Chains A and B, each alone.
Chain A
Amino acid sequence: MIEVLYFAWLRERIGLPREQVETEAPTVAALVQELSARDDSYALAFADLTGLRVAVDQELADFDAPLAGAREVAFFPPMTGG
């Protein structure tokens, strides 16, 4: 079970801020594929991964990062702090 979080326009497009996902996905990319297969809102949100960033257990990661042992995965657009 992984806690999946969404921020900014991704949260709005998917329609929820977080959810628990039962998954055996070995990588972030595989998790994205699983989510995208659920329905159009996910597929649309994840259509262009170059415009998205991901954090695994609160650390920035790549989409090919492994998920073994991960508890939390967050997806969001490029950050705009400052």
Chain B
Amino acid sequence: MTAPDIRVVADAFDQGEELNRFTAMAGPAGAVVSFSGIVRDEGGMLQALEIEHYPAMTDRAIRAIADQAASRWALSAVLVIHRHGRLCPGEVIMMVATASLHRQAAFEAAEFLMDYLKSRAPFWKKAFTAGGAEWVAARDSDEDALDRWR
């Protein structure tokens, strides 16, 4: 596998452009799977989401997760882009993409990456609404999601 492409960025990115570039660089792949996470508007309540992270740790934590995925599935490429800072509803928070010879590995690895990024990559979200600001709590279901990979 080529080295995972991991980026933690403040600015918006073009997911279509990224996916095209990823596909072109993915080597001998028969399947590319991508996932994009979008800021929900929570029924019109959410004004903005602020994403804090731990710069010294973020890249290496994501890299460790990507390496784990690469050791479990036969992947030819992995992409993770995650934004930080202030985002509005509808904006893309992050995307992952995986490439493999066959779709099953690409699908499973993408799910694995998402499950681990949720609760093992050092990001925290603060939700701003008309009523004030509140840190988004981790959900037990996010932790439970890791069980199926153990």
CA distance A58 to B62 in the complex (A): 12
Q: Which of A8, A72, A81, A82 has the most CB of B within 10 A?
A: A81
Q: Supply 18 A–B pairs (Cβ within 8 Å), ascending by A.
A: A7-B122, A58-B54, A58-B56, A58-B57, A74-B122, A76-B122, A77-B124, A78-B119, A78-B137, A79-B119, A79-B120, A79-B122, A79-B124, A80-B136, A81-B82, A81-B120, A81-B122, A82-B114
Given contacts A8-B124, A79-B123, A81-B82, contact A55 B118 (CB under 8 A): no
How many chain B residues touch A (Cβ–Cβ < 8 Å)? 27
Q: B149 CB to closest chain A CB, in angstroms?
A: 15
Asked whether B117 lies within 8 Å of A81 as measured between CB atoms, the reply is yes
Asked whether A80 lies within 8 Å of B124 as measured between CB atoms, the reply is yes
B 100-124 binary contact with A (CB < 8 Å = 1; else 0): 0000000000000010011111111
- Can you name the residue of chain A whose Cβ is closest to the Cβ of B59? A58
